[in-house]
């Protein structure tokens, strides 16, 4: 096996035993990027030199006997909406095509402290708005399982890079499913932690009350390792919770005896592709055979989650994206008559169609006279959805659902109909609305050979139960070992 194919925990052991060096490993990843990324198109920025220098420094520190984190020397990459000091952070938008932040996001600081090696920045849907990475201003990332298909979105390249072995792990961001849906489409592990678990400082905001950074990894153990590195209270983020965060690797236990699993029937209906339904039911049977119990139940209000999500996220986005006005940084139109003209042209030219659509939708929803009917009503739905999850979790330890109604679709297949595209988020948005953690793991392939992901939903701050369930499943199956043929 090549080094780039291994998991972070396997590589950690090799690095600690000094069987390999970080520089060898980093070279292996950079070579892999050179080889496969011309097809996959995951990276917007690759930092060859910086990554090698960084790896060399880590090697030195390790050979000097310094105690470094579990992820020391591991090459990883970041979605391009996570700010990196002095390194382009474009959000895959023309608007920020030249933006180099003078600061690191808190997660970047944490990963640097851990000793990881940043190899580059990854493509995405512009400002994280989309489910296919087709909305990038720069390029179209492909699904490693089928280059004619999308990798999902908006963290499409974060998933594709892991699936194609172009990074050992990556970080994405998830506002309505943007980590979990691409993880499912590309057959990798992806987690959206509980809202408030990972600092949002330095994550370019899409919808502040929904956004959360999370890991995309090759297996559940790696997911726990990355969570250990990035979670924690951050005084720079008022919405980050000041609680004691667990050691997530302690949850990696092969045991689901007595675990109560709820399966909401609203997520298993006609709208879900039969192969996916079958695959999830198969996974549930496996868990049952390992000692868990599962039953169907009704999770009311599910049908309202999607409209509520699109209202709240668009409303917040319309305000969050107002700062891109051509005055301070980023794109500015060439010619303008006056201030209003500068604003209009800069924003018309700098934003793509989907971003403009959401800004208009959100502006409308917040407008005087419409606020009560749209934004306020959506917030009320949000409260009710939270409550219906609370009720469910009084009976179940974990809720399991499909992640997506279909497997990866073809490039261009849905990009003409925004509503059809929005429907791709139907299984994932409720968690963001309720602030709950969600873990997606591979549970098989469909008849076209495309990955299927199952979604595990947990109580707030109970990532541990999700990890234990997923770990047990992984230890007793081989789905996580499936890799695309590239």
Partner 1 sequence: MNYETVIGLEVHAELSTKTKIFCDCTTEFGGEVNTHCCPICTGMPGVLPVLNKKVVDYAIKAGLATNCEITEFGKQDRKNYFYPDLPKAYQISQYDLPVCKNGYIDIEVNGQKKRIGITRIHIEEDAGKLMHDEWGTGSLIDYNRCGVPLIEIVTEPDMRTPEEAKVFLETLKSILQYIDVSDCKMQEGSLRCDINLSVKPVGQKEFGVRTEMKNVNSFRAAVRAMEYEAKRQIEIVESGKQVEQETRRWDDVKGVSYAMRNKEEAHDYRYFPEPDLVPIVINKEWIEEIRKTLPELPNAKKERYIKQYQLPEYDAAIITSSRTLAQFFEECVESGANPKIVSNWFMGDLMRILKDNNLEPEEIPFPGQYIAKLLALIEKGTISGSIAKKVLEVMFDEAKDPEIIVKEKGLIQISDESQLVEIAKKVIEDNPQSVADYKGGKEKALGFLVGQCMKATKGKANPQMLNNLLKEMLNK
Give the footprint of partner 1 on this chain (CB under 8 A). Answer: 81-83, 89, 91, 96, 99, 101-103, 105, 200-205, 207-209, 235-239, 315-316, 318-319, 322-325, 327-329, 339-340, 343, 363, 366-368, 371, 375
In angstroms, give the least distance from the CB of 332 to partner 1. Answer: 12
In angstroms, give the least distance from the CB of 330 to partner 1. Answer: 8
Beta carbon nearer to partner 1, 32 or 192: 192
Q: Residue 408 CB: number of other CB atoms within 10 A?
A: 30
Beta carbon nearer to partner 1, 32 or 200: 200
SS3 label, residue 238:
coil
Answer whether 92's CB lies under 8 Å from 383's CB.
no
Beta carbon nearer to partner 1, 82 or 230: 82
Beta carbon nearer to partner 1, 330 or 402: 330
Beta strands 438-445 and 451-457, pairing class: antiparallel
Beta carbon nearer to partner 1, 257 or 328: 328
In angstroms, give the least distance from the CB of 51 to partner 1. Answer: 22
Nearest to 421 by CA among 165, 125, 39, 191: 125
In angstroms, give the least distance from the CB of 365 to partner 1. Answer: 9
Between CA 451 and CA 481 the distance in angstroms is 12
Nearest to 16 by CA among 91, 97, 98, 72: 72
Answer whether 208's CB lies under 8 Å from 112's CB.
no
How many CA atoms lie less than 13 Å away from 268 in the CB half-sphere?
A: 20
SS3 label, residue 403:
coil
106-114 helix and 220-230 helix, angle to the nearest 10 degrees: 110
Q: Which residues are catalytic?
A: 79, 154, 178
Q: Identify any residues that bridge with 75 across adjacent strands, giving them in sequence order.
A: 117
Read out DSSP for 163-194?
A: HTTSSSEEEEEESSSTTHHHHHHHT-EEEEPP
Beta carbon nearer to partner 1, 65 or 102: 102
In angstroms, give the least distance from the CB of 209 to partner 1. Answer: 4
Beta strands 75-79 and 169-174, pairing class: parallel
Beta carbon nearer to partner 1, 9 or 347: 347
Strands of the 189-192 sheet, one edge to the other: 43-46, 117-122, 75-79, 169-174, 212-217, 189-192, 438-445, 451-457, 398-402, 260-264, 293-297
Q: Residue 212 CB: number of other CB atoms within 10 A?
A: 27
Read off the DSSP letter of residue 219. S
Answer whether 83's CB lies under 8 Å from 99's CB.
no
Q: What is the number of H-type helices and E-type strands within the chain? A: 15, 11
Beta carbon nearer to partner 1, 209 or 249: 209
Read off the DSSP letter of residue 102. S
């Amino acid at each position: 096996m090549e080094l780039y194919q291994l998991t972070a925990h396997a590589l950690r052991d090799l690095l600690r035993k000094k069987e390999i060096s970080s520089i060898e490993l980093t070279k292996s990843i950079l070579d892999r990027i050179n080889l496969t990324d011309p097809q996959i198109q995951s990276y917007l920025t690759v930092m060859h030199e910086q990554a090698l220098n960084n790896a060399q420094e880590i090697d030195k520190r390790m050979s000097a006997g310094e105690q470094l984190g579990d992820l020391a020397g591991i090459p990883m990459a970041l979605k391009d909406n996570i700010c990196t000091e002095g390194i382009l952070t474009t959000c895959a938008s023309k608007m920020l095509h030249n933006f180099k932040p003078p600061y690191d996001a808190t997660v970047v600081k944490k990963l640097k402290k851990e000793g990881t090696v940043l190899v580059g920045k990854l493509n995405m849907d512009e400002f994280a708005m989309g489910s296919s990475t087709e909305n990038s201003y720069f390029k179209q990332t492909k699904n490693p399982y089928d280059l004619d298909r999308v990798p999902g979105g908006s963290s499409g390249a974060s998933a594709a890079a892991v699936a194609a072995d172009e990074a050992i792990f990556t970080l994405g961001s998830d506002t309505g499913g943007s980590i979990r849906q691409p993880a499912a489409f590309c057959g990798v592990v992806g987690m959206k932690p509980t809202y408030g678990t990972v600092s949002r400082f330095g994550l370019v905001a899409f919808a502040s009350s929904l956004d959360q950074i999370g890991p995309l990894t090759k297996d559940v153990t790696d997911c726990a390792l990355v969570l250990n590195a990035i979670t924690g209270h951050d005084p720079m983020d008022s919405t980050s919770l000041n609680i004691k965060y667990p050691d997530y690797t302690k949850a990696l236990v092969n045991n689901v005896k007595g675990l109560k699993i709820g399966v909401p029937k609203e997520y298993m209906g006609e709208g879900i592709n039969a192969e996916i339904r079958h695959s999830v039911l198969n996974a549930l049977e496996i868990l049952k055979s390992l000692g868990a119990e599962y039953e169907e139940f009704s999770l009311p209000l599910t049908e309202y989650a999607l409209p509520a999500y699109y209202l709240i996220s668009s409303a917040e986005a319309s305000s969050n994206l107002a700062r891109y006005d051509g005055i301070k940084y980023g794109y500015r139109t060439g010619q303008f008559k006056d201030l209003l003209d500068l604003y209009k042209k800069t924003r018309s030219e700098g934003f793509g169609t989907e971003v403009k659509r959401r800004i208009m939708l959100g502006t409308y929803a917040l407008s005087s006279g419409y606020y009560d009917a749209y934004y306020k009503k959506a917030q009320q739905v949000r409260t009710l959805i939270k409550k219906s999850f609370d009720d469910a979790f009084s009976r179940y330890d974990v809720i399991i659902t499909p992640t997506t109604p279909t497997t990866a679709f073809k490039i261009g297949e849905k990009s003409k109909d925004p509503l059809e595209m929005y429907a791709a988020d139907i299984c994932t948005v409720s968690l963001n609305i309720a602030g709950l953690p969600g873990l997606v793991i591979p549970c098989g392939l469909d008849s076209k050979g495309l990955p299927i992901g199952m979604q595990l939903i947990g109580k707030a701050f109970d990532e541990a139960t999700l990890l234990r369930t997923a770990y047990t499943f992984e230890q007793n199956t081989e789905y996580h070992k499936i890799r695309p043929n590239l």
